[in-house]
Structure 1
Amino acid sequence: MRRCAEIFRAFLMLGLTSFGGPIAHLGYFRTEFVERRRWLSDAAYGDIVALCQFLPGPASSQVGFAIGLLRGGYAGALAAWVAFTLPSAILLAVLAGVGFALDNTIGQGVVSGLKIVAVAIVAQAVWGMARSLCPDRTRSAIAVLAVLIVVGFGGPGGQVFAILTGAIAGYSFCRSGVAEAARDIAHPVTRRVGILALVAFVLLLIGLPVLASAAPSRLIDLFDVFYRAGALVFGGGHVVLPLLESEVVRSGWMSAGDFLAGYGAAQAVPGPLFTFSAYLGTLLGGVSGALVALVAIFVPGFLLLVGVLPYWASLRQNAWAPALMRGTNAAVVGILGAALYDPVWTAAITGSSAFALALVCFVMLTVWKVAPWIVVVVSAAGGLLISVA
């Protein structure tokens, strides 16, 4: 219990102060747990990061979960996740609950600014991911193909098809023939537990849509939607945007404006971007909806992590494994690029003033390297000025 309390305190401090997104979170984790606390070696930390980037799900939260698992077993993993996730989840749920999108000039101006900053943030994510994940013609072609698939098919089905197509293309055209050296990570997960976790992941992925159809319930529907989104997110937290938008906006559950305003607000709080689900869950089902959405979106990534962990050393020796991920990540760039236009751009850029503000925010993020939460505040103030001008 003392060790779990230690884990909880360490991750709670990070949950309160870790601004900047998943890449920044990984830097914070390394500083805290490798350099300062020396809970694990640099090599072990690198292996954990490689595994979590290989799997779908929120990479930084999976890394934190894995560190808690190695340090304090399953209770330590739960303590790490709760502590890192709780601060931003509470903040976003409160914002949704008090209805910060007030029906007046001030409220609508702030919401307009939050939608505009979402354009800059997603554009920065697309630009950065394209540079790192599509560095050659083959992967650039896969990204373009993913855009065409998403535009042609639409909805969650088109996104899943784009990811599968990217994986197949990566396996066919992106193999380097160089496998990584085997190096096991000391962990408490047995192979039997790993198999059970993988079985649970598949059963939930297949069974939840059936259950939602057989027993209509808003909470079951929410668990189904957010579980599927968490199971299909490759390449970082921003990629959850098009997946969730297809489910909650195109289905008519909420407006694109409310969705993007919450996404913009999520950039101004510390911790994992996946806590955006708490905002959406609150709008769709109150406190119980927030809890269901929050748990559901994280569960698949954690099940996959526990399931693959016992087999990671042998899996990484196969040259096809990184090839699949190269193709999948390239497809993810295309999916996020398509989302940048619709719904992000179409819902937020309604005139030349909005475009100018979005451009300023983009420059602040990419050239001036201003902290995202500061850019969010600037955009909210800019949206307010535009609304009263």
Structure 2
Amino acid sequence: MIHECMKNMPSILRFLLTCKKNAASKIGNGIADTLRHTWYLGLTCFGGPPVHFQIFQRLFVDKYAWIDEQMYKEIFSLCQALPGPASTKMLYAINIIHNGLIAGVVSFFVWCLPGAIAAFGLGVGVSKINDTLPAPAYALLSGLNAATVGIIALAAVQLSQKAITDKLTRILVFAAACAGMLYNALWYFPVLMIMAGACTIFWDYRRQLHYATVKLIIRLQKIIACGCSPGDANEEAQVNLDEIELQDLANGESCMPATVSHRLASVKPPSAGGSVTALPVIGHADSDVVIDGTIENDTTRFVPPDLELQVLSWKVGITIICIFFISFIVIMVIRATVPSVPLAFSIFANFYLAGTIIFGGGPVVVPLLREYVVTEGWVSSRDFLLGLAICQAFPGPNFNFAVYLGILAGHNNYNLITGAVLGFFAIFTPGIVLHTGTMGVWKSLRRHRWFVCALRGINASAVGLIFTAVYRLWQQGFLSKTFTSGSSLGLDPWWVVISATAFVGGRWFNLAAPVAIVLGGTMGMVWYGVNS
């Protein structure tokens, strides 16, 4: 036996070497294919996630046919359901599915680096600016800020139209916006999102809770009044509930979901861990509407088995997710308990926290990052607003704003490149890692109705926080020698006109965000020329 093995060893080694070469060739071909089709996107995609999604659909669904329409919608749901940069995760997932994990990582850097390099250059320049600027510069910056407010307000309206599927989500958007305006704290926004998710779960399951409560009350009444056994009381309670349901049906009402009430012969409360057969598209214009806890799907989507979004196994996916949450807990514990940690760690921890709790993509990053860098005293309000306005005109993901903030947050303490790297990886890592892990478990996780319900509330509250960002930027958008830290744009109606121009131009005349920013700056200089 040993002799035969030794005799066949050369053949085995040749086979393994061939497999290794084939694998390397496949990876190389995948990377080349990714570069050939995506190298220019990070340089030419302006306008934020709504425009990015349209470009990706036109390229990878209609033109290249890397994925089909159903798969695109499923990836879109996953991108909207998880924290992090939505359009970045979309491009990353498409390349993983078509060319493999390594090609997906390559596409991430190709997509992000052009805007990140631009943000780095901006941060280096702003770090060398004096505390006091000439009057024309303040007028220019105020015009840029006013246009930025209009652009973000438009993003808030567009995203709210997708996030609002019923009266409850409308209330949650409104409540989150109001709550974000009334109070500020580092822990506050995550709590608002969690509460919103709990609200939608409770609301969508209220009929099951009502059913279980009524059944329990009837059962207790029978046990107390008649002294019957729990089993007999349970059967009698079931009969009474059937009668209640029949009476409600006669009156045109039902105290239980439609999935239950049409099966009176075996009326039982639906399981809290039930599943849905169709995937609702979270935050999409064609989203399914959740009414009274049931998913009303006007276009049932069945994903073919060969197109299921399961690039990784569920075991690998769960492992990745667990490793991430362990790292997150460790970082947050050190951040909260250690009295004096290095500034670099504090900056990384704050950006890591922001990247973990940002649902809704780039527009939502604004209010959170402001609280995590301006409130901490690392970046001045003026520099924050300046970078925000100019970064809106850069291509690629809005999350590159963290590169700019990372430079300014620590430019007096360590190398500028260190700050840029800290900001970049801290803000992008949570969303990309969670997205990678969830791709392995999404097929199973999406079928749990409670999970879909919670995401609906989280998404609605995240959109509401964008309106909070609009308010806070409005209150500090006007800059001058007197108000170097910012004052309300309402001090002069001209800034209102600029904001309205950016909003109306983008909403009804397809005015691109970079053009709106430049137009705002130009109008700011006109204001200076008239007033000087």
TM-score by length of 1: 0.93
Match of 2:330 in 1: 207
Range moving further from structure 2, 64-73 or 103-112: 103-112
Identity across the alignment (%): 29
Equivalent residue in structure 2 for 1:317, among 420, 424, 447: 447
Match of 2:208 in 1: none
Equivalent residue runs for 1:144-159 within 5 Å: 144-159=174-189
Equivalent residue in structure 2 for 1:357, among 484, 498, 516: 498
Match of 1:20 in 2: 47
Indicate conservation of the 8 Å contact 1:112/1:384, yes or no: no
Indicate conservation of the 8 Å contact 2:42/2:113, yes or no: yes
Q: Which has the larger helix fraction? A: 1
CA shift digits 1:88-142 (9 cap, x unpaired): 1111211121229672234333222221122111211222222222253222222
CA distance in 1, matches of 2:440, 2:432: 14
Range moving further from structure 2, 231-240 or 28-37: 28-37
Equivalent residue in structure 1 for 2:146, among 98, 113, 116: 116
Equivalent residue in structure 1 for 2:203, among 170, 173, 195: 173
Match of 1:141 in 2: 171
1:143 Cα shift? 2.1
Match of 2:357 in 1: 232
Matching of residue 94 in structure 1 with residue 121 in structure 2: yes
Match of 1:195 in 2: 318
Range moving further from structure 2, 30-39 or 170-179: 170-179
1:343 Cα shift? 3.8
Q: In the superposition, relative to structure 1, how do residues 367 and 281 fare at CA in structure 2: closer, same or farther (>3 Å)?
A: same
Indicate conservation of the 8 Å contact 2:81/2:459, yes or no: no
Q: Which blocks of at least 5 consecutive residues in structure 1 are unaligned?
A: none
Equivalent residue in structure 2 for 1:345, among 466, 472, 475: 475
- Supply the RMSD in Å over aligned alpha carbons: 2.2
1:385 Cα shift? 2.5
Indicate conservation of the 8 Å contact 1:18/1:25, yes or no: yes
Indicate conservation of the 8 Å contact 2:310/2:443, yes or no: no
Matching residue's letter, 2:162 = S
Range moving further from structure 2, 176-185 or 122-131: 176-185
Matching residue's letter, 1:248 = V
Range moving further from structure 2, 180-189 or 368-377: 180-189
Indicate conservation of the 8 Å contact 1:109/1:383, yes or no: yes
Matching of residue 292 in structure 1 with residue 429 in structure 2: no
1:186 Cα shift? 5.2
Matching of residue 303 in structure 1 with residue 454 in structure 2: no
Q: In the superposition, relative to structure 1, how do residues 24 and 374 fare at CA in structure 2: closer, same or farther (>3 Å)?
A: same
Equivalent residue runs for 1:256-267 within 5 Å: 256-267=381-392
Matching residue's letter, 1:379 = G
CA distance in 2, matches of 1:225, 1:8: 33
Runs of 4+ with >6 A deviation: 179-182
1:44 Cα shift? 2.0
| SS of aligned partner of 1:156 | coil
Matching residue's letter, 1:189 = L
Range moving further from structure 2, 147-156 or 9-18: 147-156
Match of 1:278 in 2: 403
1:362 Cα shift? 1.8
| SS of aligned partner of 1:347 | coil
TM-score by length of 2: 0.69
Matching residue's letter, 2:73 = G
Indicate conservation of the 8 Å contact 1:365/1:371, yes or no: yes
CA distance in 2, matches of 1:186, 1:339: 34
CA distance in 2, matches of 1:130, 1:43: 23
Matching of residue 382 in structure 1 with residue 496 in structure 2: no
Match of 1:369 in 2: 510
Match of 1:222 in 2: 347
| SS of aligned partner of 1:289 | helix
CA distance in 2, matches of 1:28, 1:136: 29
CA distance in 1, matches of 2:471, 2:39: 36
Q: In the superposition, relative to structure 1, how do residues 5 and 136 fare at CA in structure 2: closer, same or farther (>3 Å)?
A: same
Matching residue's letter, 1:375 = A
Indicate conservation of the 8 Å contact 1:260/1:344, yes or no: no
CA distance in 2, matches of 1:288, 1:53: 30
Indicate conservation of the 8 Å contact 2:309/2:442, yes or no: no
1:372 Cα shift? 0.8
